[in-house]
Amino acid sequence: MADGFQFAFTPEVDKATQPLWEKVKGHITPMEWRLQAPLIAEINRLKREKNAVILAHNYMTPDIFHGVGDYVGDSLGLAKEAAKSDAKIIVQAGVHFMAETSKILSPEKTVLIPDLRAGCSLASSITGADVRLIKQRYPGLPVVTYVNTTADVKAETDVCCTSANAVQVVEHVAREWGVDRVILIPDEFLARNVARQTDIKIIAWQGRCEVHERFTAADILELKAAYPNAQILAHPECPAEVLEVSDFAGSTAAMNDYVLTRKPKQVVLITECSMADNVAVDAIDTEFVRPCNLCPHMKRITLENIYESLVHNRYEVTVDPAIAARARVAVQRMIDLPPPLVPARYDLVKARHHVDVELI
């Protein structure tokens, strides 16, 4: 329980949160709402008082995503918001590498993460020292690093990428450097999926997302048999065999756009569990079939610890200024690229399924 706060569902709280309740009432039970609404109202009041914004990733639970998030989206969208926000305080409702990215882009702001233990299996798969060794082994090749990495790793990087723009970044950097091979680390599966969409040869690291690596092609084929009319959308952190039998591959923002613009009758999102819960609130014409895996790191963030984070200004995320300055160059290069002309697409993935990567 959050300290120092009375969790009463008063008539004032009821009135202040009524519009939000109208939006989420098919997705949150009245009993849950009476517990969540007082915290949501208080967090929103504290944000105004302290000139704070909450950047919430698509994997936050709906009470956070719809209730208190000022900016919601994928890793790329949140990084762009961190760069342009003029709030004094950023509360990162996401994982630690996202908070570090915000601090790298906005060193003058206070960046808070409600639970310091919110890590990421990809970010912990590689260190800055590893990247220095990789650069010695492959001199003259550009290093593209997924944003799911620590500031130390970003500082050794030429350009960052997210799953929304990885193909574009790889092709851009290869053109700029005049090379036909690019190091793309640390997600092996993202690297394999990118390799199937480009002629550039990819050198990859064996990092994995513990949420997406668990999906198998057999899971997807079983779903297809049970729900023959459902559209299956998978995240590019999944194994390539999963994407090959899915209908679409894209970042969490790309999945969101797909559902909201194409309005499929039935959809399956092969990703973290909260994704479907959040999109379902807006996608009123779509039925969601929900096999999913929970990210234990994302789930460390709760309304209670967001409230405490704002009250106590905790936990502040800092990055050594010398490291941040080098990491900023890599993140800013990514942000400055124009949006991809063509989003990551399954048909391209399928067309080149024989393309392999060189594993470090």
Residue 125 engages ligand SF4 in binding (rule: CB under 6 A): no
Pairing of strands 231-234, 201-204: unpaired
The residue (of 101 and 148) whose beta carbon lies closer to ligand 13P is 148
Residue 295 marked as a ligand binder: yes
The candidate with the shortest Cα–Cα distance to 47, out of 311, 323, 330, 326, is 311
Given a contact cutoff of 8 angstroms between Cβ atoms, the answer to whether 54 and 88 are in contact is no
* 190-213: burial string, b at 16+ Cβ within 10 Å, e else: bbbbbbbbbebbbbbbebbbbbbb
SS3 percent helix, strand, coil of the chain, rounded to 5, is: 45, 15, 40
Round to whole Å and give the CA distance between 244 and 217. 8
Question: From the list ligand 13P, ligand SF4, none, which binds 274 (C-beta under 5 to 8 Å, kind-based)?
Answer: none
Angle at 300 (CA atoms; ends 298, 305), nearest 5 degrees: 125
Stretch near ligand SF4 under the rule CB under 6 A, chosen from 12-20, 260-268, 295-303, 304-312? 295-303
Given a contact cutoff of 8 angstroms between Cβ atoms, the answer to whether 321 and 107 are in contact is yes
Residue 238 engages ligand SF4 in binding (rule: CB under 6 A): no
Peptide bond just before 236 cis, omega within 30 deg? no
The residue (of 96 and 103) whose beta carbon lies closer to ligand SF4 is 96
Nearest approach, Cβ of residue 350 and ligand SF4 (Å): 24
Residue 198 marked as a ligand binder: no
The residue (of 33 and 215) whose beta carbon lies closer to ligand SF4 is 215
Question: From the list ligand 13P, ligand SF4, none, which binds 252 (C-beta under 5 to 8 Å, kind-based)?
Answer: ligand 13P
Residue 96 engages ligand SF4 in binding (rule: CB under 6 A): no
The residue (of 20 and 194) whose beta carbon lies closer to ligand 13P is 194
Give residue 52's identity as a one-letter amino acid code: A
Radius of gyration of the chain (CA): 20
The residue (of 41 and 164) whose beta carbon lies closer to ligand 13P is 164
Question: From the list ligand 13P, ligand SF4, none, which binds 297 (C-beta under 5 to 8 Å, kind-based)?
Answer: ligand SF4
Round to whole Å and give the CA distance between 227 and 230. 6
Residue 146 marked as a ligand binder: yes
Question: From the list ligand SF4, ligand 13P, none, which binds 163 (C-beta under 5 to 8 Å, kind-based)?
Answer: ligand 13P
Residue 237 marked as a ligand binder: yes
The candidate with the shortest Cα–Cα distance to 198, out of 305, 320, 351, is 351
Angle at 258 (CA atoms; ends 265, 146), nearest 5 degrees: 140
Q: Map 135-176 to HEC letters.
A: HHHCCCCCEEEECCCCHHHHHCCCEEECCCCHHHHHHHHHHH
Question: From the list ligand SF4, ligand 13P, none, which binds 251 (C-beta under 5 to 8 Å, kind-based)?
Answer: ligand 13P
- Interface residues toward ligand 13P, by CB under 6 A: 58, 74-76, 148, 162-164, 209, 237, 251-252
Residue 292 marked as a ligand binder: no
The residue (of 13 and 212) whose beta carbon lies closer to ligand 13P is 212
| Whole-Å CA distances, 120 to 125, 132, 147, 298 | 9, 21, 11, 9
Polymer length in residues for the chain = 360
Residue 24 engages ligand SF4 in binding (rule: CB under 6 A): no
Nearest approach, Cβ of residue 183 and ligand 13P (Å): 20
Site for ligand SF4 in 127-156 (CB under 6 A): 148
The residue (of 36 and 274) whose beta carbon lies closer to ligand SF4 is 274
The candidate with the shortest Cα–Cα distance to 62, out of 112, 23, 14, is 23
Residue 353 marked as a ligand binder: no
Residue 148 marked as a ligand binder: yes
Annotated binding site for [4Fe-4S] cluster: 120, 209, 295
Annotated binding site for iminosuccinate: 57, 75, 146-148, 163, 235-237, 252
Residues that bind ligand SF4 (CB under 6 A): 95, 120-122, 148, 209-211, 237, 272, 295, 297-298
Annotated binding site: 57, 75, 120, 146-148, 163, 209, 235-237, 252, 295
